A and B are shown apart, each in its own frame.
Chain A
Amino acid sequence: MAKYLAKRLVALLAILFFVSLGTFFLVHLLPGNPAITILGPNATAHNVAVVDGQLGLNRPLWAQYFVWLGNVLRGNLGQSFVTHETVVSIVTNAFPIDIELVVISQLIAFCIAVPLALTASRRPNKGFDRYSTAGTFALLAMPPFIVAPLLVLLLAVDTHVFPGPASYVPLTQAFWTNIHAMLLPAIVLAIGSIVIYFRLLRNDLIATLQEDFITMARAKGLTDRRILFRHALRPSSVSLLASAGVNIGSLIAGAFVVEYLLQLPGLGYTLVAAISQDDYIVVQGIVLVVAVSVVLVNFLVDFLFSVVDPRIARD
């Protein structure tokens, strides 16, 4: 176990190193000049050189990288060209919104997917299973940017079940108003997750139900219900847990879309705003924060996975 953990940690550090390298070079190797963004298109060559000097852009690339990495490790992600706010404060304001969105949406997704999968797997390829599988195929073809405008049109614009765009208030200010405003985007995000969790758990349950120990349980005369809950659900839910971690990446994509649509000031909304203002430093900071969070969550889930199912750490 300790050896496995050590190996995973080394891999994690390597991946984090490449993520930082990737994020840094995105800004520095691709066309576009931060100095010109600051000074405007009519900047003279002399002024550009001065600003380059101030930003340290005239030093060799590897030196710039290590200066940047040193700053990042000390918790300094730079400062916005446009608002002069530090990237760290931008991120600390925006990140809680994404975390709240993800938590609510995952609660909704599990509450729907797990009972559906349990019911469907009892009689594979029969009525209920067929309809719910077909239904999830339909959901599969409805990415957030299709569902979000439709739901907003139906539930916020036409009937005022949920508040419309730009109605976000911080959780600490008005708890229920906040939850109410978060429900619609959370439902949009949940839809994508329901499909994944349902299909995964259904397939795993069906596979588990064919194993010998289930036949054994049947032979002992246990009821279907007891077999399903006591014997089949636990071994099958291991990969569900793993997929929940992997799913975080997709939730980010979806979260960006609903944030943008509903003007929720989360990371996605902030990122798109920064992009439209050519605010390189903010873009770089948010990309780094998101990429590192995804990598860390995946690592944590992988680790939990080996705790729940010790067979994994053995190889």
Chain B
Amino acid sequence: MNDRAVPTSPVEPGHAVSTRAIDAAAGAAAAALTDAPSPRRRLGWVFWLCAGWVVLNILAAILAGVLPLQDPGLQTSAINAGPSLAHLLGTDDLGRDIFSRVVFGARVSMIVGFGAVAIGLVLGGTAGMIAAYRRGRVDTVVNAASYVLLAFPALVAVIAIVTFWGHSLWKITLIIGIAGAPVIFRVVRAATLSFATRDFVTAARALGATDRRILTKELLPNILPTVVSFSLIGVATVIVLEGSLAFLGLSVTPSTPSWGNMLNESRNGLNTIAGQSNPWLVLFPALAMFLFLLAINLAGDRLRQHFDVTELKL
């Protein structure tokens, strides 16, 4: 049993992923689960604060339409205004309310972030569980395929596909979801492998349980903690990827408010001479994204630690 601490969180947002790092992290996390019953440490107030902020953001994104907000596309005569009571976070160069655009902008990030990870979980997660449970040739083939897919730099692949296929919200979600599937595959496979040969699985099989039952009732609940904490960090990664695309003008149409689009628009302000730029336009979408990424990363990392006993040895 390797008792080194888990290197870092398996996926750093916006960064390419080392298969070695993923395998190490997934293996260690899974091994930690099998090692000893996890001591019931408290998650701490930082975790609950972060989780609360994430939930608040999700709720605001869902309910943006019914909240008492200005129409995010409404152009008023107040152009580049600073924060005031009428416009909590000021207005942009077209006189649109920044607060309302930030709240509506959360929608794109949330849909792409959670949607793509969900797609990745369905594709990569299912493949990972089956490959680890079946072993043999299926495992060998899918495993090799995942290595090849991981070798291709994700952002470049996504940019290329988006260029030729177009960039509507659902297409971007689907593309990023598929691009993320090999990463999730590796994590789920490693986690499942550590349980697939355990006695309770053999016992279930001896009792005549079907493969489907073993996968869903015996294995799934055991790997769920690892997968959930990893997925949260995955959501942050995807949101960063979508933000990069939006910043390059390759995400949803610019008229749709999204955090990345707003940052991209603020770029025009930067290119003009000093004094004409509107700092609020850069600041608030950047802040919204920063706080959300910080909260979801901290929550994800805290959860990962919670289910990981190796760090207790420190």
Contacts and interface: CB of A to CB of B under 8 A. Distances in A.
Interface residues of A, number: 70
Residue among A27, A32, A153, A253 with the highest chain B CB neighbour number at 10 A: A253
Contact of A196 (B12, B152, B165): B12
B298 A252 contact: no
B297 to A, nearest CB: 6
Contact of A145 (B8, B244, B301): B244
B151 A250 contact: no
A153 B271 contact: no
Interface residues of B, number: 64
A124 B21 CA distance: 22
B16 A249 contact: yes
Contacts of B301: 137
Interface of A: 14-15, 18-19, 22-23, 26-27, 30-32, 124-125, 137-138, 140-146, 149-150, 152-153, 156-158, 164-165, 192, 195-196, 199-200, 203-204, 206-207, 210, 239, 242-243, 246-250, 252-254, 256-257, 260-261, 268, 271-272, 275-276, 280, 283-284, 287, 290-291, 294-295, 298
B165 A143 contact: no
B155 A252 contact: yes
Q: Is the interface of A mostly helix, strand, loop or mixed?
A: helix
B174 interface: no
Given A196-B8, A200-B7, A260-B247, 16 more contacts: A142-B290, A142-B293, A146-B243, A146-B286, A164-B270, A165-B270, A195-B12, A204-B4, A243-B21, A247-B15, A252-B156, A253-B241, A256-B159, A287-B156, A287-B157, A295-B151
Interface stretch (B64-72, B98-106, B204-212, B274-282): B274-282
B164 interface: yes
Contacts of A158: 274
Contacts of B152: 18-19, 22, 291, 295
B100 to A, nearest CB: 21
B290 A146 contact: yes
